Structure 1
């Protein structure tokens, strides 16, 4: 059970975080592109001010998109079934429950998904096409592997995050059960954010050393 105000609060926070995450992942792809394709200009192009601006823009757009969609959704009328078969309130299932005209809500939700979902993913894929082409030009195999390893953590997070979003919002609604939708929603709302620090930390040699020491200690203790 949740109140209408609580449901709107969930929608606002969820939409803001999803939008911001998409833009941040796209910004990180841009960072990887400059680092690999234009390494000599990296410190000039991606400086502290640019990084701060990218992060600020991501959060500003996230707040703006969330505010617009939440306000539009809050003005819908609900006079029938008030049960959402999800773990939390989202715009898409809430629109389906409305008994009023949802034309504007559908347009804004579709526009947001196209711009921040498909648009950011297309930008990321385009960046990695140029990155892969640049890596293939490196003659030394060890250098190619080392260069690509710098993108491994970002690629992993992008695959997990956008894979779940595509499954939830781009596939036909009858292609998956409501129970499976709830499981996938856990992926991009809980599991992926929880795995982010772990995935990115595994590139740190000190973290890897500490993890190996912990595993060895646990094995010795069990023996």
Structure 2
């Protein structure tokens, strides 16, 4: 918005977004900066009959993407979740990947389209159950195990003492693997994939802290980087516990 310009009273700024500015709700729609890939992805899902994402409804007069507003609750932060919620998330991610396969085949780069940020904070819950994913800024073709690894971390694993015993976290990683229907070979690679994702997060937030644009909300990049490093050390420390649960 230009300095001195009044905000449109019909637009409600949506909270929760950390990296993408200009996301607002108008009526039962969400307006976001346009993304050709998001448009392609959501139109593909609509054609495939997958209802676990919002519909793409076109572009508005400001050339923003118009997305369906999905009613429900979106957690502001990662938190402890139940086994049933983790299982439902794993099943939802499996359906997301299966519905994306034809598009990934056309694009190349991997067998499925990965969300790449499928944490609880990018998931719509209804009656306590995860039913849809939102925010596809990082989506791309890739290895489905990358998405499962990110979900294992963001839904099941935490170095914070308040998040419970490691054995309970490892059990939830097993619940996720079962719900997604990981193969034996994928289960053997899962915790290595979690570690690799944490390393990638360190690179991302290191660059963001040194020369990237500021985050819109939440802690600064340096704080996120320190937390990510603590999470990586936690996963490495208890690697055998997690691996045993998956065996």
Above 0.5 in TM-score?
no
Max Rg structure: 1
The structure that is helix-richer by fraction is 1
TM-score, normalised on structure 2? 0.26
TM-score, normalised to structure 1's length?
0.28
Which protein has greater RCO, CA pairs closer than 8 Å, 6+ apart?
Answer: 1
Which structure features the higher share of strand residues? 2
